[in-house]
Structures are given as C-alpha cells and as structure tokens.
Amino acid sequence: MSLLLTNTTIVSMDQSDSDYQTQPNCYIAIEHAKIVKIGPMQQCPTADYSQIIDCQGRLITPGLIDCHTHLVFAGNRAKEFEQRLTGVPYETIAKQGGGILSTVNATRAASESQLVELALQRLSALTADGVTTIEIKSGYGLTLEDELKMLRAAKQLEQHASIKVSTTLLAAHAVPPEYKDNADNYIRYVCDEIIPAAVAAKLVDSVDVFCESIGFNLAQTKAVFEAALSHSLGIKGHTEQLSNLGGSELAATMGATSVDHIEFLDEQGVKALAQHGTVATLLPGAFYFLRETQLPPIDLLRQHNVPMALATDFNPGTSPIASLTMMMNMGCTLFRLTPEEALRGVTCHAARALGLQDSRGQIRVGYDADLAIWNIDHPAQLAYEVGTPRLHSRIVNGEICHD
C-alpha cells in the first residue's frame, strides 16, 4: 500500500522548529503506513503509487492526539451536574458516594459490547475533529474483572474505527465500596493482582493514579508506581488538581511520562518536571466544568521549558466535552496559551506524554503516516474557531478516512 499526497501545505510540528512555519507546495509520500519522503512539488516522485491525492494546497498537520481521556464508561452524571449548579461541590458529591462511584456502578453493570458501543459514539466526535490517536483509561471498574473489561473495550475500538488506542490502567481512581475505609488493602490488590493480570493479558501501556485527598495519598501512589515500573509499564498521574500533595514531583522523580491537571503545582514541582523530562498535561475542560479558579502555572512551565500537552479528559463527571479543538480554544482563552502552544499540545507534546514521540505527533520521514488534512488557511484557526467543521479528512495508518 502506498499513497502520495500532492500540493500540500505542511505544518510539521517538528520539535526543532522554533515556531510552526508552514511549508507550502509540498508532497508527502507514504509506504506501509510510514512517511517515507517529504519535499517540494518540483521534486515530487513520479513512481507508481497505489493512490494519489491532490490536496489542492490544503493545510496538513500531524493527526491530533488526545492524550488523556476516560472514554469508556456507562451512564451519565447529568443529575450531579444539576446538583452542583445548586451549590454542592464536586468533593462533597464524591464523599456522599456519588461522583466517580456512581459511574462505577453503571460501568460494572454494562457488558463489554455495550461499553464499546457507547465509546464508539463519543469517539466519532473526536475523530471528526482530527484525532488519530487516543489514550483511554480504565478506572470505573475497580475490580480485576471490571478494569480488564474496560481495557478490552478500549482496545476493541481499534477494530471498529480508524484510531490508535493507548491504554492506561487507572484502578487507583477511587476506593471501591468493597474496600471502604481500607484504601491500603485496595492498593495492595491493585499492585499484586490487577496490574499483573492486565500485563498478562497485554491490555495496558501505562498506569495512572488519582493522587488527591479524595483519591490516594503519596505513599499509596508510590506503591502503585513501583508495581507498574516492576512490569516495565509507563507511569502518569492525576496530580495537583484540587490541592498540592506533591504527587507531580513524586511521579516525575519516578520517571512519569506526564502529570495531568496540575493547577496547584508549585515551582519546586515545575523544576522536577523540567529535570526529569515529564510532560505537563493541561486539562482546561475539567477546569472550566468545575469552575476552578486556580490556574496551572503556565509561566513557570514556560520558563523551565516544560513541554505542555492539552487533552479533553473526556469523562462523565468533570469534562463531558468531546472536542480536542475546543480544548485548544480553552487552552488559549482560559490558560492564555498561544495557538501555536495549543497545537504543540495536541501533537508533538501529546505524543511525548504517551511515550510515542519517536513515531507520532510530527510530520517527519520515518514517522507513522497519521495526519489531519484541514479546510483552513492558517493553523491558528484550529484554536480560534469553535464548532465550525474544519476537517477535510484524516490519514490513519497510511490510509485516507473521510469521517
């Protein structure tokens, strides 16, 4: 299988470029799902390609990467949304057994195929927005069986849609009712049984922990990371979302690919990310939906050259928003990112957050042929506009998809 894209305007997001220069009048040659040649149209190869697409000058970016989602779950939390509008805080709802645990009940009751069907509907909104790679977390099962069911459902999406899925085990998302007041025992169960079973079933790329007063403390977080590392899995954290427990620093020191949310991260934490090459993943959807006021330390992250990713955090409780370009807009309006930082956040830096920086997130020879072709004049339009249909088509695994 080979594909030749002609008359393209490339926005490569190559990390060596200081800004997103566009390169007009280019071709991109693809073979066996990899980019094999890029160059000016004057040097366009004439060899036989199974398919040639004239892009008519359209802008091409790397396929967008949504590097933090909870896409697989059943039920919804519209009632809780109403409750919060009457003034009940997220933490109070969680303590009353609502919040994450209400989604746990609905997800446990759903079959694997129901979970796939629900996730596919949500996924179609993301792919229509140019997403070609998605990270999906478990965390609404909280038993070995139900966590594995969620991960299998996440993996299955690759069979039903043109998408690459990176799976993350988030068994340490909340203390399940069976272990109420016994979080340490639950953590032992996660480390000794759930992680090894997920590894044996080849269902997991990374392990995540919700390190927070309504989640797990530092010692528990460390134990889960140690278990993950002993199986050579990647680690990442939901850290410093509602308070500063030091989870980001712990995660970075242990080699985390990313720490996510981080509204309450301080300079010491930022320095730890810089020192260990950990990506700061910003989740403006949750910030917006919970009407948070504490902004993530964007200027400090810039000063210390910490790569910033942006993701939807799509989930029923804090970010039921299935649009990654909407997150680019929110990253700019709420967090004052530049449109270029926002685009890096959903391409090269998002790839790094998933440990995929050597194959995805940039348009480069040798990289995977996962691309998004746009009906726009300037890349800043991706962050500037909301709700307008801008995608022309996606290239996934070297093949064109008209979503």
Binding-site sequence positions for Fe(3+): 68, 70, 238, 313
Determine if 311 is a binding residue for ligand NIG (CB under 6 A).
no
Determine if 286 is a binding residue for ligand NIG (CB under 6 A).
yes
Determine if 316 is a binding residue for ligand NIG (CB under 6 A).
yes
Residue 137 C-beta: closest distance to Fe ion, Å: 7
If the CB atoms of residues 317 and 339 are measured against ligand NIG, the closer one turns out to be 317
Classify residue 48 as exposed, middle or buried by CB count within 10 Å of its CB (0-12, 13-18, 19+): exposed
Residue nearest to Fe ion (CB): 313
Determine if 292 is a binding residue for Fe ion (CB under 5 A).
no
If the CB atoms of residues 11 and 72 are measured against Fe ion, the closer one turns out to be 72
Smallest Cα–Cα separation from 70: which of 286, 290, 308?
286
The secondary element (H helix, E strand) that includes residue 277 is none
Determine if 216 is a binding residue for ligand NIG (CB under 6 A).
no
Residue 150 C-beta: closest distance to ligand NIG, Å: 13
Binding-site sequence positions for N-formimidoyl-L-glutamate: 140, 315, 317
Residue 379 binds which one of ligand NIG, Fe ion, none, with CB within 5 to 8 A depending on kind? none
Determine the residue type at 62.
P
Measured in whole angstroms, the distance separating CA 362 from the mean position of its chain's CA atoms is: 16
Residue 318 binds which one of Fe ion, ligand NIG, none, with CB within 5 to 8 A depending on kind? ligand NIG
If the CB atoms of residues 156 and 239 are measured against ligand NIG, the closer one turns out to be 239
* Given 315, 325, 347, 393, the residue binding ligand NIG (CB under 6 A): 315
Smallest Cα–Cα separation from 198: which of 119, 107, 122, 137?
137
Residue nearest to ligand NIG (CB): 317
Residue 11 C-beta: closest distance to Fe ion, Å: 28
Rounded to the nearest 5 degrees, what angle is found at the Cα of 145, between the Cα atoms of 114 and 173?
90
* 71 touches 122 (CB < 8 A): yes
Residue 312 C-beta: closest distance to ligand NIG, Å: 10
Cα radius of gyration rounded to whole Å, the chain: 21
Residue 397 C-beta: closest distance to ligand NIG, Å: 29
Determine if 103 is a binding residue for ligand NIG (CB under 6 A).
yes
Tell how strand 164-172 and strand 308-310 pair up. Answer: unpaired
The secondary element (H helix, E strand) that includes residue 269 is helix 267-276
Determine if 313 is a binding residue for Fe ion (CB under 5 A).
yes
Phi, psi of 100 (to 5 degrees): -55, -40
Alpha carbon separation from 124 to 17, 162, 248, 369 (Å, rounded): 32, 10, 32, 20
Determine if 285 is a binding residue for ligand NIG (CB under 6 A).
no
Measured in whole angstroms, the distance separating CA 26 from the mean position of its chain's CA atoms is: 30
Residue 190 C-beta: closest distance to ligand NIG, Å: 16
Measured in whole angstroms, the distance separating CA 309 from the mean position of its chain's CA atoms is: 8
Alpha carbon separation from 24 to 123, 375, 394 (Å, rounded): 31, 14, 19
If the CB atoms of residues 166 and 318 are measured against ligand NIG, the closer one turns out to be 318
Q: Which two tokens stand for residue 368?
A: 């995977």
Q: What residues line the site for ligand NIG (CB under 6 A)?
A: 70, 99-100, 103, 210, 238, 241, 286, 313, 315-318
Q: What residues line the site for Fe ion (CB under 5 A)?
A: 313
